[in-house]
């Protein structure tokens, strides 16, 4: 199975799982609200509507979600400049990567996040709050829990 097919299948499973078990979905949303409380999130996407961003803020509970529009069809140099500017935002506590990058761009993005010690989540599909919450807990929930626990203790 190709990587893009796998990512699409993972995203579909996330949506299917959440829709089949509303109680589980609500538990995941509640956990993410706790993990993102007082945190700043950057959503990197393309044509993200204001309503989508507002729905994520309301459901996921971060202090703010800053949306960065990345032109996925544009020139690679311009796309990387946009990503680099977003990576320089010192207030960002979590990046949500909602666009597909080519392999080299993705690797550079991942390395920069590691250098910054800032978690990021690859969103394989929908920006629906339950799907995003599922991906957050699946990919970086343990890191966010550790950050929360270290700031409390």
Residue 73: how many other CB atoms lie within 10 Å: 7
What pLDDT is recorded for position 35? Answer: 96
Band the pLDDT of 151: cuts 50, 70, 90. Answer: confident
Burial of 6 (0-12, 13-18, 19+ CB in 10 A): exposed
What pLDDT is recorded for position 3? Answer: 41
- Which of the two residues, 151 and 92, has the higher pLDDT score? 92
How far apart are alpha carbons 18 and 55 in whole angstroms?
17
> Residue 118 has which token pair?
């800032």
Dihedral sign from CA coordinates of 91, 96, 102, 106:
positive
What pLDDT is recorded for position 153? Answer: 59
Q: Give the model confidence (pLDDT) of 36-88 as tens digits.
A: 999 999 999 999 999 999 999 999 999 999 999 999 899 999 999 999 999 99
Phi-psi region of 95 (alpha: psi -120 to 50; beta: other; left: phi over 0): beta
pTM metric for this prediction: 0.85
How, if at all, do strands 120-122 and 94-97 pair? parallel
């Amino acid at each position: 199975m190709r990587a893009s097919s796998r990512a699409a299948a993972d995203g579909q499973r996330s949506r299917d799982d959440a829709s089949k078990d509303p109680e589980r979905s609500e538990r995941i949303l509640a956990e993410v609200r706790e993990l993102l409380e007082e945190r700043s999130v950057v959503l990197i996407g393309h044509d993200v509507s204001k309503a989508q961003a507002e729905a994520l803020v309301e459901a996921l509970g971060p202090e703010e979600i800053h949306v960065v529009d990345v032109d996925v069809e544009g020139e690679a140099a311009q796309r990387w400049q946009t990503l680099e500017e977003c990576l320089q935002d010192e207030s960002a506590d979590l990046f949500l990567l909602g666009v597909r990058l080519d392999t080299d761009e993705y690797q550079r993005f991942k390395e920069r996040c590691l250098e910054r010690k800032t978690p990021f989540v690859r969103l394989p599909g929908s920006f629906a709050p339950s799907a995003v919450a599922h991906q957050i807990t699946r990919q970086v929930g343990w890191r966010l829990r550790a950050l929360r626990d270290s700031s409390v203790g």
